[in-house]
Structure 1
Amino acid sequence: MKPIEHLHPAAWQFAGGKSDPYVTTLAEWIEKPQDDALYDLCVLGVPLSKSSISFSGAHLHPMTFRKLWPNFTTYHWDLDLDFTMLRAADFGDVAMHVTDIATCHRNIEQTMQEVSTRFSQTFPITIGGDHSITAPLIKGRKAATGKRIGIIQFDAHLDVRDLDYGGPSNGTPIRNLVESGTVQGEDIVTIGIRNFANSRLYRNYAEAKGIHVISSKQVHTRGIDSVVTEAMKRLEPCDEVYVTFDIDALDQSFVPGVPAIGPQGLTPDQLFSSAVTLGAWSKVSAMDMVCVDPSVDFRDVSTRISLHLFLHFVSGLCQQKQL
């Protein structure tokens, strides 16, 4: 594959080979990119956590995520489908500057713009990193397509902190996108907001900008299918939809390895169900998963959750392929 300026091979790679002729693992399915090959989806790693408000080792997530690939197969039992109908490649990691967050964000934006331009038929799935990466990813997507982009955000937090108070961080991506004119407020749906994780002033900001917010309690009361269906209807006028999963939307009992753990969160089944539904929606054009810190995790429990989220989302992409 012709090099992309700010992409380099992943820190963790597999030598290949097949241990069981009747089983395909993720490590066997996800290829190293080949020249002129056509891929249905690609994986991008963004190992950035310096921009996290609280201490975070989320830069370790892409590497840990890849290390688990030999442990999972490409077969979804309940849906009776196998990912081998899709062709996937690991495009590697976006280069990060040692100290300069602004340079890191420029590299992310330029990489997503080039990937979206050169591989317009390939679905990019990004493994973060902290949530600050979502703003440059969507900016890069916007620069490549020029389309009206909607966002479905799963998160315990609004992520609309004031950019003048601390600069771009994992608490600012949504505000960054709105104030830069990249995305309209009414084209954003945030699902999973928790009590005691936000402020009234930031709620006022979100409501003033037209951001539609659904709390975790509302999800538990109404059911996740109803909530996701509502989000899809609201964003139907958009040309394409970007989905971002902050893993801290889940309850702390499921994900000990996220920086902002808290009770009253969503369940893995709710997030997995959403991932299948949104992966199968043709309007969705890109996805990311952020805010897993393997350095404080237990037996990679939280990374295994994010990997299963990836697997369920790809299951949705396979359902599109079958139509």
Structure 2
Amino acid sequence: MDHSALPTDPLWPRAGNWPAPSGHSDFALIGVPTWRTSISATNAGHTPDAVRAMIPRYSQFSHSGGRELTFADHGDVLDPDLDERGAVAAVAAVDAELLVALGGDNAATVPTALGRWGDRLATAGLVTVDAHYDLRDGVSNGSPVRRLIEAGLDGRRVVQVGISDFANSGEYAARARDLGITVVLRDELLGRPIADVMAEAFEIAGSAGGPIHVDLDVDVCDRSVAPACPASVPGGIAAHELRAAARAAGRHGQVESIDLVEVDASADTPDARTIRLVALCVLEAAAGLAQRP
């Protein structure tokens, strides 16, 4: 996207184009371009740069106010599918109050969460906003929750929001129950504000006092607003609900990392509606962070 074509107004500063890190920042961005193990064909590895290019279409101003933030962009992890340990180390090296990781497919959740949690895995919590359980066997974008639990995450501090009918199986539903995972089905969200659901999820995930990672899988959204997600379906959540979830995550003091995953920028519509949504979720997370005490 040609930024030179964007109008310049000194009274309307644009978001994005954040600097390379130079010490601690309040808000940090990193690309974790996983794609090689995806169950569905995808070019999700190209998505982080597409999101970066979209962010300057928007400003950082939010009517909710809050403190001024410092920003840093740590670039992309080099081939995290082939070097997951390197990806974990790259994430762990980020010095920031809140880190937002741009996928990539859902395999990005594993190195992002493990990198942020470090030696605090025993007290960590996970909240996923996703249509799928991600409890499959093996190593793929369908297995990150299972892999994190096998690494030592307590399933009783995992909350999965948005789990959908016709996108899962009875076997994986039973696996979630056996692991003690709290599940909020898509149908349950029809009568509940997403902010309330997220608040309850954070209470459960953060019950041991440790860090929380939030996985925002964009395929939880309705396909009309997320056509670049290979697995999005008609009847998913609304764009404003995902944005509200991102802001709630940014606002919560125990949330140290968020990922935005399962978007294939090459499959988006001409108006780039999915990438626009991801870019706005990045800004929502920053707006939430600005409101932390």
Please report the TM-score for the alignment, with normalisation by the length of structure 2.
0.92
Partner amino acid, structure 1, of 2:35: S
1:108 is aligned to: 87
Does residue 198 of the first structure (1) align with residue 160 of the second (2)?
Answer: no
Check 1:33–1:143 CA distance in 2 against 1; reply closer, same or farther (3 A cut).
Answer: closer
Partners of 2:25 and 2:92 in 1: CA distance: 17
CA distance in 1, matches of 2:216, 2:159: 12
Task: Indicate conservation of the 8 Å contact 2:32/2:101, yes or no.
Answer: yes
CA distance in 2, matches of 1:122, 1:240: 11
Asked if residue 44 in structure 1 is aligned to residue 30 in structure 2, the reply is yes
Gaps of 5+ in 2: none
* Range 256-265 or range 234-243, more displaced: 234-243
Partner of 1:24: 13
Q: Distance in 1 between matches of 2:240 and 2:195?
A: 11
Q: Matches of residues 70-149 of structure 1 in structure 2 within 5 Å? A: 70-77=56-63, 79=64, 81=65, 85-96=68-79, 101=81, 103-115=82-94, 119=95, 121-143=96-118, 145=120, 148-149=123-124
Q: How far apart are the structure 2 equivalents of 1:140 and 1:69?
A: 25
Task: Establish whether residue 54 from structure 1 lines up as the match of residue 40 from structure 2.
Answer: yes
Task: Give the greater-gyration-radius structure (CA).
Answer: 1
**1:75 match: secondary structure:** coil
Change (3 A) 1:198 1:14: same
Query: Is the deviation greater in 223-232 or in 126-135?
Result: 223-232
Aligned to 1:184: 154
Q: Which amino acid aligns with 1:283?
A: Q
User: Aligned partners of 1:13, 1:169: CA distance in 2, in Å?
Assistant: 34
Q: Which residue of 2 aligns with 1:33?
A: 21
- Does the CA contact (< 8 Å) of 1:256 and 1:296 recur in 2? yes
Q: Distance in 2 between matches of 1:71 and 1:304?
A: 9
CA positional deviation for 1:53: 0.5
1:285 matches 2:256: yes
Higher relative contact order (CA 8 A, sep 6+): 2
Number of aligned residue pairs: 290
Tell me how far apart the structure 2 counterparts of residues 235 and 33 of structure 1 sit (CA, whole Å).
Answer: 30
Can you list the C-alpha shifts for 1:233-280, whole angstroms capped at 9, x where unaligned?
Answer: 222323121111000010111111111121221111112222222211
Asked if 2 retains the 8 angstrom alpha-carbon contact of 1:74 and 1:82, the reply is: no
Q: Give 1:9's aligned residue.
A: none
SS in 2 for 1:40: strand
Identical aligned residues as a percent = 30
The question of whether the paired residues in 1 share the 8 Å contact of 2:98 and 2:250 is answered with no
CA contact (8 A) 1:75 1:82 kept: no
Work out whether 1:157 is the aligned partner of 2:136. no
RMSD: 2.2
Q: Which residue is 2:288 aligned to? A: 316
Q: Which amino acid aligns with 2:89?
A: Q
Q: Is the 8 A contact 1:113 1:143 kept in 2?
A: yes
1:144 deviates by 5.1
The counterpart of 2:238, out of the listed 245, 248, 267, is 267
Q: Kindly indicate whether residue 216 of structure 2 is the aligned counterpart of residue 245 of structure 1.
A: yes
C-alpha distance 129-213 of structure 1, shift in aligned 2 (>3 A) = same
Where in structure 1 are there 5+ consecutive unaligned residues? 1-11
- Farther off after superposition, 271-280 or 50-59: 271-280
Q: 1:219 to 1:199 in 2, by over 3 A?
A: same
For 1:227 and 1:38, the matched residues in 2 are separated by 32
Paired with 2:207 and 2:131, the residues of 1 have a C-alpha distance of: 26
Question: What is the one-letter code of the residue matched to 1:292?
Answer: V
Shift of 1:139: 1.8
How far apart, CA to CA, are the structure 1 residues paired with 2:66 and 2:263?
Answer: 27
CA distance in 1, matches of 2:179, 2:30: 31
Q: Which amino acid aligns with 1:285?
A: E
Task: Give the ranges of 4+ consecutive aligned residues of structure 1 lying more than 3 Å apart after TM superposition.
Answer: 12-15, 144-147
Q: Write the letter of the residue equivalent to 2:70.
A: R
Say which SS state the counterpart of residue 258 (structure 2) adopts: strand
